Amino acid sequence: MAVKIRLRRMGQKHAPFYRVIVADERSPRDGRFIDEIGTYDPTKEPMAFSVDEEAAKKWLANGAQPTETVARLFKQAGIQK
Amino acid sequence: MSTGNENKICAKKADAKDWLAEAAHLSVYYEYYGALLPEKQRLIFEDYIANDMSLSEISKEYGLSRQGVYDAVRRCGAKLYEYEEKLRLAERFHGLEEQAERIMREASGIAADAKERETAETAEAAEKLAALARELWECLQ
Chain B residue with minimal CA distance to A9? B50
> Can you give the pLDDT at residue B4?
53
> Can you give the pLDDT at residue A45?
79
Could you tell me the residue range of the domain that residue B98 belongs to?
A: 92-139
> Can you give the pLDDT at residue B2?
46
Mutate to test the interface with A, among B45, B52, B59, B66 (most CBs of A within 10 A): B52
- What are the residue ranges spanned by the domains of chain A? 3-76
| Residue A29 phi, psi dihedral angles, 5° rounding | -80, -40
> Can you give the pLDDT at residue B7?
52
Between CA B34 and CA B26 the distance in angstroms is: 10
Lowest mean pLDDT among A19-23, A52-56, B14-18, B55-59: B14-18
CATH of domain A3-76: 3.30.1320.10
Pairing of strands A65-66, A3-11: parallel
The complex's ipTM?
0.85
Q: How many domains does chain B have?
A: 2
Pair B30, A16: CB distance under 8 Å: no
Chain B residues whose beta carbon lies within 8 Å of the beta carbon of residue A8 = 50-52
**Each residue's pLDDT tens digit, B26-40:** 999 999 999 999 999
> Can you give the pLDDT at residue A12?
81
Between CA B5 and CA B80 the distance in angstroms is: 9
Question: Which residues, listed in sequence order, are joined to residue A23 by a DSSP beta bridge?
Answer: A4
| Low-confidence spans in chain B with pLDDT less than 50 | 1-3
> Can you give the pLDDT at residue B66?
94
Q: Is the pLDDT of residue A76 over 90?
A: no
pTM of the shown model: 0.82
Task: Count other C-beta atoms under 10 Å from residue A20's C-beta.
Answer: 28
Between CA A13 and CA B129 the distance in angstroms is: 25
Position B1 in a domain: no
Angle at B134 between CA A10 and CA B93, to 5 degrees: 55
